[in-house]
A and B are shown apart, each in its own frame.
Chain A
Amino acid sequence: MKSIKNHLSLVIALVSILFSIQILVIAERSIDTYKDKLANDYSIVVVSQKALQSSKILEEFSIIEKIVPLSPDGVIKRLDTGMSRKNIELLKLTLPKFYNIKLKYYPSSSEIKVLTEKLLRKSSITKVENYSNSHDSTYKLLLLFKRVITIFSVSMLVVTMLLIVKELRIWQFKHNERMNIMGLFGAPIWMRSAILFRLSIVDALIASLISFILFTFIASDSWVNEQFDYIGIKVTIFDPIYDLLILTTISIVVSIVLASLIVLGHKEEV
């Protein structure tokens, strides 16, 4: 019972660390996916007196994915009150050119500002509509969401690390006695600490397994998936191979660092 309790305290601390990390990863993935979705929906409208050379613009602005000319037919149709074909053609030539600019990713507010300024510096471009108000509020909401998640996860990590430091002291006390006795009979340091490392690795594997079960359950939960569907994105909540590998590695590294600190802090009784 006592042994299970000793294992549990480290396992729970490790699970909290892994949970915080995976929540951060999910938040990051959600934001990235949502940004991609916004980038697809978002575009800038440019009004130019002359036809723009798409290839030159694309070369100059790496953020721009494509430039689509907007047809003036709709405008002309609204103005058409029995104009002759010749006049219509003339009107077409005198009307400014409209372009829809698609970006490669969802830009930050400062990137939008820089891009707008640079485009306006082109002599032929007379207006750039970047829909900055709606863009700003969406972008700031995303940043806020990301910051809240980060603060929550980092706070959880800090509290868990403090718990682990406390746990480290208990382990140090518990394992020092055995390590001292083994040392009295000539056991080299690796042999004295082998049990400690073995226990740490076992605890790390147990914590990884618990996290795997927890996130597999979360990932398959219909309520969670519905929430993502509502905002129109599909996010990998838990990749059973990649994420498990990362979480297991982190768990083992934390445990080994913990065990190494105990071994380094071990002082032979005099």
Chain B
Amino acid sequence: MDKVIIADNLSLAYSHDETIINKVKFSIDSGSFVFITGASGSGKSTLLKSLYGALNPQEGSLVVGGVELKGVSNSKLNFLRKHIGIVFQDYKLVKEWTIEKNIMLPLIINGYDKGVTQNQVDSLLKHVRLKHQTGKYPQELSGGEQQRVAMARALSHNPILILADEPTGNLDDYSAELIWNLLVGANEQLKTTVMVVTHHIPENIKVDYKHYHIEFGRINEVN
């Protein structure tokens, strides 16, 4: 099976004297669903940041979607990010854009034409049950709805990998369930690799997943 992420002897740090992730080795199969857990400050989000190139590896090698991220050039990083969907706990939506424009963002960056973009946005709004909110701005929606917009944006360009950082951390049970269903749907129907960083794995999640736990700068497979 193809590997979408390969980390070899990977160390991550924000400064030279404080290593967060220390010489870890792991690989993620394409099409898998992965949970990364760990205590607060263990380095879960740091690991996720390194996967979309926001943090350069201090040591070792990290290959995502065939792109080596150690010393990666801006153009290669942009190329990789065009094929990744990212979901954040704080949604990271552009406040001055309507929800449709937010969802369109990856499609515009990937150079899709207007017709395709509009159709995709319409179908995604239906998919995340937000068709009735068309034309609104993020701040006019509830937290759960904003996260669904962020999910639609992450799915819009059929990415090879979805990275989600505590995607349901701020949400009520109903919205959280909707988000899990969307992530599982993307994994099962589109064969998208999904990696979720979370404190707790939902008990009722209906997907085969791999579970890694980060502790003391090391990453260990749990099941």
Residues of A within 8 A of B (CB): 3, 177-178, 180-189, 191, 268-270
Tell me if A184 and B94 are in contact (CB < 8 A): no
Give Cα A186–Cα B109 distance, bound, in whole angstroms. 7
Tell me if B54 and A185 are in contact (CB < 8 A): no
Interface membership of chain B positions 70-107, coded 1 if the CB is closer than 8 angstroms to chain A and 0 otherwise: 00001101111111101000001111100000000110
Tell me if B92 and A181 are in contact (CB < 8 A): yes
Tell me if B109 and A181 are in contact (CB < 8 A): no
| Contact flag A182-B14 (CB < 8 Å), given A188-B78, A270-B54 | no
Give Cα A189–Cα B75 distance, bound, in whole angstroms. 10
| Contact flag A185-B105 (CB < 8 Å), given A178-B94, A269-B54 | yes
Tell me if B92 and A186 are in contact (CB < 8 A): no
Tell me if B93 and A186 are in contact (CB < 8 A): no
Q: Which of B14, B55, B92 contacts A184 (CB 8 A)?
A: B92
Tell me if B54 and A268 are in contact (CB < 8 A): yes
B52 CB-CB contact with A under 8 Å: yes
Total interface residues in chain B, CB < 8 Å: 26
User: Lowest 7 CB-CB distances: which A-B pairs, in order?
Assistant: A186-B81, A186-B82, A186-B78, A185-B106, A187-B109, A178-B94, A181-B92
Query: Nearest Cβ distance between residue A179 and chain B, in whole angstroms?
Result: 10
In the complex, chain A residues whose CB is within 8 Å of the CB of B83:
186
Most A CB atoms within 10 A — which of B55, B77, B78?
B78
Give A3's nearest chain B residue, CB to CB. B96
Tell me if B49 and A270 are in contact (CB < 8 A): yes
Q: Which of B14, B78, B84, B94 contacts A181 (CB 8 A)?
A: B94
Give B91's nearest chain A residue, CB to CB. A181
Tell me if A181 and B55 are in contact (CB < 8 A): no
Give Cα A148–Cα B105 distance, bound, in whole angstroms. 53
| Contact flag A186-B80 (CB < 8 Å), given A178-B96, A181-B94 | yes
Give Cα A270–Cα B92 distance, bound, in whole angstroms. 14
